[in-house]
Amino acid sequence: MKLWAGRFSKDTDSRVNDFNSSISFDARMFKEDIEGSIAHAEMLGTCGIIGKAEAANIIKGLECLLADIQSGSLAFDPEAEDIHMFVETVLTQRLGDSGKRLHTARSRNDQVALDIRLYLKKEIKAKKKLLVEMLNVLIEKASEHTATVMPGYTHLQRAQPVTLAHHLLAYAQMFKRDITRLEDCAQRMNECPLGSGALAGTTYPIDRTLTAHLLGFDAPTQNSLDSVSDRDFIIELLSALSIIMMHLSRFSEEIILWCSWEFKFIELDDAYATGSSIMPQKKNPDVAELVRGKTGRVYGSLLTMLTVMKGLPLAYNKDMQEDKEAVFDALDTVKLCLETFTPMLSTMRVIKENMRAAASRGFINATDCADYLVKKGLPFRDAYKITGELVAFCIEKGKTLETLTIEQFKEFSTFFENDIFNAISLENCVSGRNIIGGPAAQCVIVQIEELNNFIRNEINEI
């Protein structure tokens, strides 16, 4: 017999039971459901809505129920409609009428809104921890390669010289923003909906502020209709998770390019690559490719929730049950990707000589050549034109700027002197960009120090 069956004169069709049930996926929130029920029972007892002794008995029963689930001695009933009904049914079987009193002054609508918030708050902390681990690896790698010159790209064309450290720290900045984005999401999520009832609150003299504080929320939600119908916090989290995956996917694309024979900037550890069933020479970057592919899966979860919510009138609608599978799958996917990508990055071997060789081709010091002429007194546009003519000459003759003689330089401008060779040295091109956010070693070290400070603060919070 279902706990809500009083209104109905016949049993629910078995197909509707299967269609309606959510226990198969919302069972993962059992701890949060019981935590919420314990706080609710304590509030009921404190407010005199039920006796304090009965509240204590309910709390003890819930604690025992939680311990039994965690030990494996109590299995979830696949016939239960959802985790909320399962917990209440088992509690009532064990306690009798006391178990029936637990649901006083609440609805499954505010109960599920509470459970998912409690669950997601914990998940956000877990994702922040994984991102901090990623940052630590990026910082470690960057610290090893502050002098490893490589080409920086625009339009996937060699553009200007940078270092591998500078390149890796660009991703560190992305993941740093991801952490703060999750924190922003958690802050807006940190209001307690319990006590909002089905949609219009309750006539019982409850203390919603007490419940909120017992559960670690900043405050209760301010509108009962919004409390049970709001899923903005899930959409916002899915957006943050999608951005994390976008960053991972961009990084994956570069890893895939870099370990190809056309680049050969890195080699992945054998533990994080796979082979071919037919081509014995192959070493495939499957981890990076799967991360790139799974990004679309997380995007799909975000689109699912945006579509589910776009036409729903207030307040609760059963459509909203679709929120959990979408966000759970996205959370699991991001966790799997971060847990696999981070050690792949940590164990990859950097082939510095190939990066340096690539940087020496493609005229990525052409801007520095033009800047040299500007510093000698030429207007930038004139310097730009002269340098472009020099590059065209080098392409025609199969040379690079570094291999030209001073006499050849002077054929294009009398402003050139012997110090041009210092100006277009790749190492000097990098070290000369000694400005905030630049690729010079001193600037990179500042970035690393600031990221380390950020990580220390995050670890204290986590």
Q: 282: which 2 tokens?
A: 């192959």
d(CA 135, CA 101): 49
In a domain, 441, yes or no: yes
In a domain, 8, yes or no: no
In a domain, 141, yes or no: yes
> End-to-end distance of the chain based on CA atoms, in angstroms?
44
Q: Which of 358, 374, 402 is the last residue of a domain?
A: 358
In a domain, 4, yes or no: no
Beta bridge partners of 152: 160
Choice among 107, 155, 227, 277 that is catalytic: 155
d(CA 30, CA 26): 8
Q: 154 phi and psi, to 5 degrees? A: -130, 145
The answer to whether residues 43 and 127 belong to one domain is: no
Classify 267 as helix, strand or coil: strand
d(CA 251, CA 254): 5
Classify 114 as helix, strand or coil: helix
Distances (CA, A) of 411 to 366, 398, 406, 414: 17, 17, 9, 7
In a domain, 381, yes or no: yes
The answer to whether residues 87 and 122 belong to one domain is: no
Classify 284 as helix, strand or coil: strand
* pLDDT in the model for residue 14: 61
Q: Which residues, at least 6 apart from 154, have a Cβ–Cβ distance to it below 8 Å? A: none
The answer to whether residues 116 and 142 belong to one domain is: yes
Q: Which of 358, 388, 404 is the last residue of a domain?
A: 358
Verify whether residue 155 is a known catalytic residue: yes
Q: Which of 358, 383, 401 is the last residue of a domain?
A: 358
In a domain, 10, yes or no: no
Beta bridge partners of 126: none
- For residue 26, the enclosing domain spans 15-104
Q: 352: which 2 tokens?
A: 């510095």
The answer to whether residues 125 and 27 belong to one domain is: no
Choice among 276, 346, 360, 425 that is catalytic: 276
The answer to whether residues 296 and 253 belong to one domain is: yes
Q: What is the pLDDT of residues 213-234, one digit of tens each?
A: 999 999 999 999 999 999 999 9
The answer to whether residues 71 and 189 belong to one domain is: no
The answer to whether residues 170 and 224 belong to one domain is: yes
Q: How many domains does the chain have?
A: 3
CATH number of the domain encompassing residue 450: 1.10.40.30
Instruction: Determine contact, residues 196/230, Cβ cutoff 8 Å.
Output: no
CATH number of the domain encompassing residue 43: 1.10.275.10
In a domain, 5, yes or no: no
d(CA 206, CA 187): 25
Q: Which residues, at least 6 apart from 9, have a Cβ–Cβ distance to it below 8 Å? A: none
The answer to whether residues 410 and 294 belong to one domain is: no
Q: What is the pLDDT of residues 332-347, one digit of tens each?
A: 999 999 999 999 999 9
In a domain, 9, yes or no: no
DSSP of 36-90, one letter per residue?
A: HHHHHHHHHHHTTSS-HHHHHHHHHHHHHHHHHHHHTSS---TTSSSHHHHHHHH
Distances (CA, A) of 238 to 241, 242, 304: 5, 6, 10
Q: Average pLDDT for consecutive 10-residue bins of the chain (462 residues)?
A: 57 63 92 98 98 98 98 95 96 96 97 98 98 98 98 96 98 98 98 98 98 98 98 98 98 98 96 90 94 98 98 95 96 98 98 96 94 95 96 94 95 96 96 96 97 94 80
Q: What is the pLDDT of residues 367-393, one digit of tens each?
A: 999 999 999 999 999 999 999 999 999
The answer to whether residues 71 and 167 belong to one domain is: no
The answer to whether residues 438 and 336 belong to one domain is: no
Verify whether residue 247 is a known catalytic residue: no
Distances (CA, A) of 334 to 169, 174, 177, 297, 369: 21, 15, 16, 10, 45
CATH number of the domain encompassing residue 311: 1.20.200.10
The answer to whether residues 421 and 378 belong to one domain is: yes
The answer to whether residues 328 and 387 belong to one domain is: no
DSSP of 133-176, one letter per residue?
A: HHHHHHHHHHHHTTT-EEEEEETTEEEEEEEHHHHHHHHHHHHH
CB atoms within 10 A of CB 381: 10
* pLDDT in the model for residue 276: 85
